[in-house]
């Protein structure tokens, strides 16, 4: 177990990628505090993992929620080794021209409050505890932090801001606290929700057939599951193998950045040379 005796705090840990991260960290020997707004989701985590998980109900847009989460984590588990900022919202790729003018300001504020400010507040609240443990922070980015079309102007802008934040925080906080990011692509089993300001808060990304849409685009040939992404967070949270690792962002997106200007060959070049002919 690579995270035995380690303690993590995960925001947005009750569903989708966040839940997969919590499950994997517990399986790797960690104890995990979870800050989430879903009381029912926190109850489900406690039922699944018992005393290995501590649930804190709160809002990532509020510094007080992060302070409570860090305080209760340290009180219950004795320390904090890794902060994982994961809570987020999506804009469902809403184009700027389609956002009503009277909703744009509220939509912008909501997006950046959750996806950027929520990360920065969590790190601010955890600074002393992470300094004491010589720990690390890992933030969920997205392929939208590097490329267009993974969201609209609001989501893509927010995720680009997270990339800059990670690099600046790694610069400011080293060598005491390492700061890195994970940039997933499409996620099977995600329950990412939309903006309240655009009437999308009750809409889940799972309603979109992303798997079908990405099958002909990704060089890997298929969209990964939340569980398949979780291992990257384990690696970034470990100590022995990752001491030199800070200010880095892992593009773990199925190869979106290398698919070129035409459709992905999806193995056809290799199959043309090496595929075995089946005799009937």
Residue 267, pLDDT score:
66
Active site residue 119: no
Is the pTM of the predicted complex or chain greater than 0.85?
yes
**Domain containing residue 103: CATH number:** 3.40.50.720
Residue 206, pLDDT score:
74
Residue 182 in any domain: the answer is yes
- Which of 92, 119, 155, 233 is catalytic? The answer is 155
Residue 81 in any domain: the answer is yes
Residue 2 in any domain: the answer is no
Residue 143 in any domain: the answer is yes
User: H helices of 90-219, where?
Assistant: 104-112, 118-133, 153-173, 210-215
The domain tally of the chain equals 1
What lies within 8 Å, CB to CB, of 270 at 6+ separation is none
Residue 280 in any domain: the answer is no
Q: Can you give the residue range of the structural domain that contains 153?
A: 7-274
Residue 279 in any domain: the answer is no
Per-residue pLDDT of the chain (280 residues; tens, 9 = 90+): 899 999 999 999 999 999 999 999 999 999 999 999 999 999 999 999 999 999 999 999 999 999 999 999 999 999 999 999 999 999 988 999 999 999 999 999 999 999 999 999 999 999 999 999 999 999 999 999 999 988 999 999 999 999 999 999 999 999 999 999 999 988 877 778 888 898 888 877 777 777 677 777 788 888 889 999 999 999 999 998 888 999 999 999 888 877 765 555 566 767 777 876 555 5
Distances from the Cα of 152 to the Cαs of 44, 109, 122, 166, in angstroms? 33, 15, 25, 21
């Amino acid at each position: 177990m690579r995270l035995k005796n380690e303690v993590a705090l995960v925001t947005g840990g009750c569903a989708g990628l966040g839940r997969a991260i919590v499950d994997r960290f517990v399986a790797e020997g960690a104890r995990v505090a979870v800050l989430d707004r879903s009381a029912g989701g926190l109850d489900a985590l406690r039922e699944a993992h018992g005393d290995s998980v501590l649930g804190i109900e709160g809002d990532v847009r509020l510094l007080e929620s992060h302070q409570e989460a860090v305080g209760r984590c340290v009180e219950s588990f004795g320390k904090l080794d890794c902060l994982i900022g994961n809570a987020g919202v999506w804009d469902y790729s809403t184009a700027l021209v389609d956002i009503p003018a009277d909703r744009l300001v509220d939509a912008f504020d909501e997006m950046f409050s959750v996806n950027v400010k929520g990360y920065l507040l969590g790190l601010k609240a955890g600074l002393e505890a992470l300094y004491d443990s010589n720990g690390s922070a890992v933030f969920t980015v997205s392929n939208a932090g590097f490329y267009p079309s993974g969201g609209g102007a609001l989501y893509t802008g927010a995720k680009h801001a997270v990339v800059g934040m990670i690099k600046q925080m790694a610069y400011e906080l080293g060598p005491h606290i390492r700061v890195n990011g994970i940039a997933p692509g499409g996620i099977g089993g995600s329950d990412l929700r939309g903006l309240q300001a655009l009437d999308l808060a009750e809409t889940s990304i799972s309603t979109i057939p992303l798997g079908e849409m990405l099958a002909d685009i990704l060089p890997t040939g298929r969209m990964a599951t939340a569980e398949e992404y979780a291992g990257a967070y384990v690696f970034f949270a470990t100590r022995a193998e990752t001491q030199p690792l800070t200010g880095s962002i892992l593009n773990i997106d199925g190869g979106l950045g290398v698919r070129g200007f035409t459709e992905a060959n999806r193995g056809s070049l290799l199959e043309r040379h090496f595929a075995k002919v089946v005799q009937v």
